[in-house]
Structure 1
């Protein structure tokens, strides 16, 4: 079985990754392809002493995962919370050292399946160029303690779940992903059957839009639902020429 997971937001106070860790690691052991769909780690909201320490911990976690499962092909897709330039450089080094690890800044296509983080849905101009610019403006500074407290209040009140659903209606989000992929010359009308994405934290399973099934696994954040998504893969990985900087 092949799997897609995203939005673990590891090392942040809001993450409950530890509650799902055993399941995730067990699935990896039997997987042929395992896609990490962005925001796997969270540098801005880290509880570790510094962003640099969080980068070290993230690379150590990923290196152990890849080295312990040599029969699995891992694909790391960047999200808006883990596109830190230093992390990207080290991710590139880790990829060069491990044949079973690959990474993409924007999206990955395998046969009739497309996988992406999905942060392009909240941009007016839904292209890789605009996405690169938006991510480049992310400073990834460690958030002060008082902001952690404010966010925890939102979690306890479940306000984040309500706002997420209202702000991300399925039809609107599917339509925006369609626009983004179309802008990047993906042949959606004839060749794509399934799209897997993250970012919105709102689960979606087999939601059909213009003949394509859209899937979202939610997030490992307290008060939200999370599911690992089984991938339906039927082809080889196609090379992608993004023609923009890789984060």
Structure 2
């Protein structure tokens, strides 16, 4: 952070699960565009798109529409810095290639595989909480997830019934928040971006549980929930310098 920088609001958005017929992500697009036009930094925290449950006719069409969606967002504010962090639902190799192509065309767009450190804030998807904390095993889990065939037909009907019965909510709430925070806290220490390294706030998604500034082990954790029918969701506001200092 430099003396010339100005500290203003920035935004973190995760788990829109666009293309799934359970997503309510399209409903928040007007609000998201409005926020983008007023800010200098937006972090997209993974699972913005859901290729596994996409209703598009092919993976190629899903990737095409995802790129169009991102380019539309970029057009809202050419002076905004955009950071895209991969999640387990949107780390498909052909999509990652397109993200890298976007980054080559737009200097204000950056793709991150695991996390983004901006000023005193750490942003990640959160699927690291599902298993071992090293990146090699995280990659392995994501690859196994992406190799699963796109769900179609009766699978969608069955999952819709589960959402309607709030079974999804019950599964999410069965995840102990303290266990998630403990694992993510261990991860941020492991990668060298914990409390002792100047981080004060951690922003993550994946768990679909809305956390509004929960204090744990000296850090403040934030999660905006998920844009899925029957679940809480919000665009998470944070404070970053303009421009934010990016640390690897």
Question: Under a length normalisation based on structure 2, what TM-score does the superposition of the two structures give?
Answer: 0.92
Task: Say whether the 8 Å CA contact 1:128–1:184 is kept in structure 2.
Answer: no
Q: Which has a greater percent of strand?
A: 2
Q: Determine the C-alpha separation between the residues in 2 that align with 1:52 and 1:59.
A: 11
**Residues 23-73 of structure 1, C-alpha deviation per residue, up to 9 Å, x if partnerless?**
111111101100000000010100011111000000111112113310111
Partner residue in 2 for 1:172: 179
Selected match of 2:33 from 3, 12, 25? 25
Matches within 5 A, 1:129-168: 129-138=136-145, 139=147, 141-167=149-175
- In the TM superposition, what is the alpha-carbon distance from 1:163 to its structure 2 partner? 1.5
Task: Say whether the 8 Å CA contact 1:78–1:117 is kept in structure 2.
Answer: yes
Question: Under a length normalisation based on structure 1, what TM-score does the superposition of the two structures give?
Answer: 0.93
Displacement over 3 Å in runs of 4+: none
Q: Determine the C-alpha separation between the residues in 1 that align with 2:155 and 2:170.
A: 20
- In the TM superposition, what is the alpha-carbon distance from 1:96 to its structure 2 partner? 0.6
What stretches of structure 2 of length at least 5 have no aligned partner?
1-8
What stretches of structure 1 of length at least 5 have no aligned partner?
241-247
Matches within 5 A, 1:98-137: 98-123=106-131, 125-137=132-144
Instruction: Indicate whether 1:54 and 2:58 are aligned.
Output: no
How many residue pairs match? The answer is 237
Instruction: Indicate whether 1:205 and 2:212 are aligned.
Output: yes
Selected match of 2:44 from 36, 39, 52? 36
Closer/same/farther in 2, CA of residues 185 and 32 from structure 1, 3 Å limit? same
- Give 3-state SS (helix, strand or coil) of 2:169's partner: helix
Say what the alpha-carbon RMSD is for the aligned residues.
Answer: 1.2
Q: Determine the C-alpha separation between the residues in 2 that align with 1:116 and 1:3.
A: 13
Q: Determine the C-alpha separation between the residues in 2 that align with 1:227 and 1:61.
A: 19
- Give 3-state SS (helix, strand or coil) of 1:223's partner: coil
